[in-house]
Structure 1
Amino acid sequence: MPRRMLFVLAALTVGLAFLVASASGGGAAPSTHQSAKKTYTIYLVAGIASDAFYLTMKKGAQAAGKKLGVKVVFTGSTASFSPNTQIPFLNGAIARHPDAILIAPTDKTALIAPIQRAISAGIPVITVDTFIAKPIAVTNVSTDNVAGGKAAADALAKAIGSSGDVGAISVNPGISTTDQRAQGFAAQLKAKYPNINYLGIQYCNDDQTKASNETSALMNGHPNLKGIFAMNVVSGNGVTSAVTAAGKSGQVKLVEFDAGPPQVQALKAGTIDALVAQYPYGIGQLGVQLAYKYITGHRTGIKKHYGTGSAVVTKANVNSPAIKKYLYTP
């Protein structure tokens, strides 16, 4: 082959090699490398997924997730607030191995082992609203329930003139939030109101019908009953129903925890005298923000507890702008 032809072929080979290298990235590499941003997934396991409180919490969590580019999955039993109904939903979340789990534990002891399973699987857990007795969660976001119980005692004392018989209806012993509300309520009555006779707590197992029946029995057994403190939405619905059916609205004074639409309506109608309202939207919002901070490596400075505030809502202030955020919007 002539020398001129060899030279041309060699030149063509070098040029082709350069083109191939450039096409495959083997030439001068770009100074920056574009990589797909990870989409984080956070599960929120409600205490009871049909409750106005947790549905409002869901809104706050999803709003924070949207702002941060995080997928928030809301799950939980719609049937009842109990470990037996909640744990399968937590196990389901663990099986999907999300980046983090937010959970409102339905019992401060029974949920320790299931939450530990999540943590052992490498999933950070934040408790919201309620908490567990063992400090294994990253943090807890909740209302100050002892202070809420004290505020309920003050509101009920004011409504009844600081004297007379009062009772209380709660869910079950062993739930962190309602245990603390009961603690604060009893302590405040004892410390400040010597003329109030506290008849103690009855438990309704988060059953509205049972709460209603217990309230009827309480009124029948104590004809001079002046007031009742209901410690959550379901017990409150039962108490309100029984007092209304007995024709004693306004006569038996009611103070209730939480501010779902039925509670607010009864407050405006004068059946309920005061509500101790939490801020579930803020609990969900802050829970997701803290989970995102933790899973993206910004862990320094995260505290073991964050409070989100509460408000005593009355007929006089229910329509004020300052109270609006405390009213639940399921």
Structure 2
Amino acid sequence: MAVITMFGLAGCGSSSSGSTKSAAGGASSVAGKQVTLVHCGDVNPWCAVYNKTIIKGLQAKGVKVTYLQDPFDVSLEIQNLQSAIASHPNLILVSPTDDDSLVPSLQQAKAQNVPVIIDNSRPAAAAVNDVSATIDADQSSLGTYAAQNIVEGLKAEGRTSGNIIAITGADATATSGDRMTAFKAELAKYPSYKLVEVKNGNWDPALTGKIASQLFAQYQSKGGIQAAYGMADYMANAVIQSAQQAGLPLGVAKKGLIVTGSNCFKVGIDNIQSGKQFGTATQAPDAEGQFVVQWALKFLQGDKIPKTNLNKEYRVTDKNVAQYAAACSKA
């Protein structure tokens, strides 16, 4: 398993490894090659920056890129993947919406000698041998950091117990699943803090806000909600807005709701700086896109790359937010 750091000590989002030079050195060999992206649509703010970064990075080396969008629509994603296979490009990059639903298509791609790399997730177990590689964030660390943020925030308020909710991304992907597995494992170390609800927000801030409002009302007579995990910063912001509408205090200074995110965004950085959000973690879309470009270029130039390539992620709180503010404000 290869790990490359995209956020250095200065949080600048640049790699500390030599893989960028290696990829750049083989730039002439990738010119004219064709890559098809089967990715989440640009209606999602994280996906928009992520996709733009990958496309721009590949095109800068002369790669011809086709981008097929599926805004977390499983049927459309399968249709797009089938279309991509039929065009027989040099590489297909797939960011799954539903891991299991892609298995037959991934098996078909392998049978037709069309290489596929899964990015921002990992393939279902049944398709592990059908993909050339995985390029992913360290999703487990993101889940662990979110739980650490919540525990640290609750302790800072002097709370020895509390009800916690989590509103996740697309539950049919390892992206959400790996984060929640790690999140639950970390919380299990502190049994007095209870994870009372886990709901699928499908990476949608409007749905996230609606779910949060419902849960705040539901638990009003059951001790209330003391902490919340919105799986992306824009989801955490939706939770914050719902809490404000419900008249709930926010943050340690007010002994209010402790909120954490992941997938750092400018809105998350702003909320941390204002005290409304306790913390987040990296996985900024441009840094993750650059990470994909590095490995995709190496693959296209014929280098043998590791089967699994995980980008290192970092926890962000008010103690180090200045270090990551610039890198986390690209979306």
Q: Could you report, residue by residue, the CA deviation over 1:5-39 in whole angstroms, capped at 9, with x for unpaired residues?
A: xxxxxxxxxxxxxxxxxxxxxxxxxxxxxxx9951
Call closer, same or farther: CA 1:238–1:91 in 2, change over 3 Å. farther
Residue 231, structure 1, aligned to residue 225, structure 2: no
Residue 155, structure 1, aligned to residue 149, structure 2: yes
In the alignment, which residue of structure 1 is the partner of 2:68? 75
CA-CA distance at 1:216 after TM superposition? 1.6
Aligned partners of 1:198, 1:246: CA distance in 2, in Å? 21
In the alignment, which residue of structure 2 is the partner of 1:315? 318
In the alignment, which residue of structure 1 is the partner of 2:199? 202
Call closer, same or farther: CA 1:99–1:165 in 2, change over 3 Å. same
Q: Which of structures 1 and 2 has the bigger CA Rg?
A: 1
SS at match of 1:329: coil
In the alignment, which residue of structure 2 is the partner of 1:240? 240
In the alignment, which residue of structure 2 is the partner of 1:132? 123
Residue 324, structure 1, aligned to residue 326, structure 2: yes
CA-CA distance at 1:172 after TM superposition? 4.2
CA-CA distance at 1:180 after TM superposition? 0.9
Call closer, same or farther: CA 1:82–1:209 in 2, change over 3 Å. same
How many aligned positions are there? 288
Aligned partners of 1:212, 1:235: CA distance in 2, in Å? 8
Residue 65, structure 1, aligned to residue 65, structure 2: no
In the alignment, which residue of structure 1 is the partner of 2:214? 217
CA-CA distance at 1:186 after TM superposition? 0.7
One-letter amino acid of the structure 1 residue matched with residue 151 of structure 2: A
Aligned partners of 1:175, 1:55: CA distance in 2, in Å? 19
Aligned match for 1:189, one of 176, 187, 196 = 187
Residue 275, structure 1, aligned to residue 280, structure 2: yes
TM-score, normalised relative to structure 1: 0.78
CA-CA distance at 1:206 after TM superposition? 3.9
Structure 1 residue ranges without an equivalent (≥5): 1-35
Call closer, same or farther: CA 1:235–1:120 in 2, change over 3 Å. farther
Give yes or no for contact 1:47–1:103 (8 Å, CA) kept in 2: no
In the alignment, which residue of structure 1 is the partner of 2:262? 257
Give yes or no for contact 2:234–2:268 (8 Å, CA) kept in 1: no
Call closer, same or farther: CA 1:266–1:172 in 2, change over 3 Å. same
**What is the identity percentage for the equivalent residue pairs of Structure 1 and Structure 2?**
24
Q: Could you report, residue by residue, the CA deviation over 1:255-287 in whole angstroms, capped at 9, with x for unpaired residues?
A: 012123333333333322111221433433333
SS at match of 2:123: coil
Give yes or no for contact 1:102–1:287 (8 Å, CA) kept in 2: no
Q: Which moved more, 1:277-286 or 1:141-150?
A: 277-286
Call closer, same or farther: CA 1:233–1:220 in 2, change over 3 Å. same
Call closer, same or farther: CA 1:282–1:206 in 2, change over 3 Å. closer
Extract structure 1 runs of 4+ deviating beyond 4 A: none
Give yes or no for contact 2:232–2:264 (8 Å, CA) kept in 1: no
